[in-house]
Structure 1
Amino acid sequence: MPKAKTHSGAAKRFKKTSAGYKHKHANRSHILTKMSQKRKRNLRGTTIMGVSDAPLIQRMLRD
């Protein structure tokens, strides 16, 4: 039986923590001039992934 490979794209985007899976916000790369300061400020930093998405990420990362 071969080993299950980690999804390399998911490995770059998610990190496992004690609280769940950490990820960065989307829509923060370009065309930011039309976006309000409040929206850009709220997209900063990282957050914990939702509980319903955790099994999908867990399967991709093979944790």
Structure 2
Amino acid sequence: MLLPYIKTTLYLPKSLKRLLELKARREGRSQAEPVREALERYLASPPPKSLGLGEDSWGVDCAHGGLP
């Protein structure tokens, strides 16, 4: 059974598009397949852990431009 797909358009840098073309050709697949797989992995992964509201990784309060 085929899943219902919705066509969409992506704007890619030329270098990324070329790599996608090469990978798909090398693996004998459509260009859409690795894109779908990458999106599924990306969307299934947990969001990055927050470092705190308005702080960078060194504890600098970026919201107020000062040091702790």
Q: Common fold, TM-score beyond 0.5?
A: no
Per the shorter chain, which TM-score range?
A: under 0.3
Normalised to the residue count of structure 1, the TM-score between the two structures is: 0.24
Larger radius of gyration: 2
**Using CA pairs below 8 Å that are at least 6 residues apart, which structure has the higher relative contact order?**
1
